[in-house]
């Protein structure tokens, strides 16, 4: 099922409160950025969020741990995709 939101902020506000409570303010901003996309790469996330590569890696790993994203691929080709956009 695909849900469309009127604003990117709406996507963050509709997260389950237990998940939202586990995200830092910076990660919530990151999730707002990701809400309009099917996924991202570490370098793309870092560039758009204006954070270091290490911070981007930490945020993306946390999103994966919470089940918000799935890691696909290895090395430089690694992508982080929303589960609803993965091929069955």
Q: What is the pLDDT of residues 46-79, one digit of tens each?
A: 999 999 999 999 999 999 999 999 999 999 889 9
pLDDT value at 4 more than 50: no
Please classify residue 40 by burial: count the beta carbons closer than 10 Å to its beta carbon, then call 0-12 exposed, 13-18 middle and 19+ buried.
buried
CATH of 8-85, one of 1.10.287.3510, 1.10.10.10, 1.20.140.10, 3.30.70.100: 1.10.10.10
**Phi, psi (5° rounding) for residue 20?**
-55, -40
For residues 39 and 18, give the distance between their C-alpha atoms in angstroms, rounded to a whole number. Answer: 22
Q: What is the pLDDT of residues 23-47, one digit of tens each?
A: 999 999 999 899 888 999 999 999 9
Beta bridge partners of 79: 72
**What average pLDDT does the segment 3-18 reach?**
58
């Amino acid at each position: 099922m695909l849900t469309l939101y009127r604003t990117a902020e709406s996507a963050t506000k509709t997260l389950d409160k237990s998940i939202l409570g586990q995200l830092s303010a910076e990660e919530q901003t990151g999730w707002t950025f990701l809400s309009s996309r099917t996924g991202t790469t570490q370098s793309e996330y870092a560039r758009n969020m204006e954070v270091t590569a290490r911070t981007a890696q930490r945020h993306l790993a946390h999103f994966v741990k919470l089940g918000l994203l799935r890691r696909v691929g290895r090395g430089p080709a690694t992508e982080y995709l929303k589960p609803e956009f993965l091929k069955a």
